[in-house]
Structure 1
Amino acid sequence: MHPNAQLLTDFYAAFARRDGDAMATAYHPDAEFSDPAFPGLRGARVTSMWRMLCERGTDLELTLKDVQADDRTGRAQWEARYTFSVSGNKVINHVTSEFEFKDGKILRQTDRFDFWAWARQAIGGPAGVLLGWTPLVRNKVQAQALRSLDKYMEERGIKGA
């Protein structure tokens, strides 16, 4: 197995056991992360996001489906099952992650998933079904996610970009 494929396998194994500290060690200090809920994170905000999600995701179940990596790039497909804390709804999220590596660490990670499918489950009801695809709902989810991350970091005295 390529060392970067092993890095990703270990990263998702840490996520499955909700070990945010172990996940953080996989990232380069200049790391960047983006997904539909947490766009444009950098540095300490990346590792803090994972720590926060691991602490709060008490019923998280993760299935890693495929990992591929070489010296420069990688890709993983995975599924997360969890309860969305805001609504209490159960979610099954199918994610594709793309990676760039530097110095044996994750430099960039971009996660993609069907936001409308996620919103229908997480938000539920007419709002999730009828409005989950709209920029209005996406912007609201992003703002709430970023506020939650800011509060998490502030409570722990973590400075970040």
Structure 2
Amino acid sequence: MSDANRAVITEFYQAFNRLDAEAMSACYTEDVVFSDPVFGVLKGRQAGDMWRMLTLRAKDFSLTFDSVRADERTGAAHWVAKYLFSQTGNTVVNDIQARFVFRDGKICEHHDQFDLWRWSRQALGAKGVLLGWTPLVQNAIRAQAQNGLKTFRAGR
């Protein structure tokens, strides 16, 4: 196990818990590739800007992480974010599995995986329960997230 790479993952999530997007971004290489079920694939500065946007907008936020493991090239962690989804006022508890690839002591790939239907049931309420599993609603969630990021980046 690589203690240095474990430390990078730990540093990333400690910074996230403080809502410190700059410290989070400092854990990434300049050409990082990030992916998750909502934002899709983000590259380079897009990934850091996503964290900047999310940390700036966070309400009633808390984070826990565990099961951090890493070797010389790859790593993984489990994390849970709890926050208020501002569009509906609903509380979301998002349970996420993260995978990482490292290069030169930093994260060059970060892939988060979670159940988008479970997220939509919490965030959207009845609409998420009834329709959150459908491609139509999931694609609308993705489009809204990507448009929000585009607007955020344009304002920077």
TM-score tier (shorter): over 0.9
Q: Residue type of the partner of 2:95?
A: H
In structure 1, the residue matched to 2:26 is 25
Taking the TM superposition and a 5 Å limit, the aligned residue runs for 1:80-159 are: 80-125=81-126, 127-156=127-156
* CA distance in structure 1 between the partners assigned to 2:105 and 2:124 by the alignment: 38
In structure 2, the residue matched to 1:159 is none
What is the DSSP-based 3-state SS (H/G/I as helix, E as strand, rest coil) of the residue aligned with 2:92?
A: strand
Q: Residue type of the partner of 1:65?
A: D
Mind listing any 5+ residue stretches in structure 2 that lack a counterpart?
Answer: none
Q: CA deviation at 1:65?
A: 1.9
Mind listing any 5+ residue stretches in structure 1 that lack a counterpart?
Answer: 157-161
Q: CA deviation at 1:58?
A: 2.9
- TM normalised by structure 2 equals 0.97
* CA distance in structure 2 between the partners assigned to 1:150 and 1:139 by the alignment: 16
In structure 2, the residue matched to 1:75 is 76
Q: CA deviation at 1:130?
A: 1.3
* CA distance in structure 2 between the partners assigned to 1:87 and 1:121 by the alignment: 10
Count of equivalent residues: 155
Moved over 4 A (4+): none
* Kept after mapping to 2: 8 A contact 1:65/1:79: no
* CA distance in structure 2 between the partners assigned to 1:88 and 1:41 by the alignment: 27
* CA distance in structure 1 between the partners assigned to 2:83 and 2:120 by the alignment: 13
* CA distance in structure 1 between the partners assigned to 2:59 and 2:22 by the alignment: 16
- TM normalised by structure 1 equals 0.94
Q: CA deviation at 1:43?
A: 0.7
In structure 2, the residue matched to 1:61 is 62
CA RMSD of aligned residues (A): 0.9
Q: Deviations over 1:97-118 (max 9, x none)?
A: 0001111111111100111111
Q: Residue type of the partner of 2:88?
A: S
Q: Deviations over 1:44-98 (max 9, x none)?
A: 1000000111111132100012100111000000100001112111000100000
Q: Residue type of the partner of 2:152?
A: Y
Q: Deviations over 1:3-59 (max 9, x none)?
A: 010000010000001000100100001101110111010011000000111111132
Q: Residue type of the partner of 2:149?
A: L
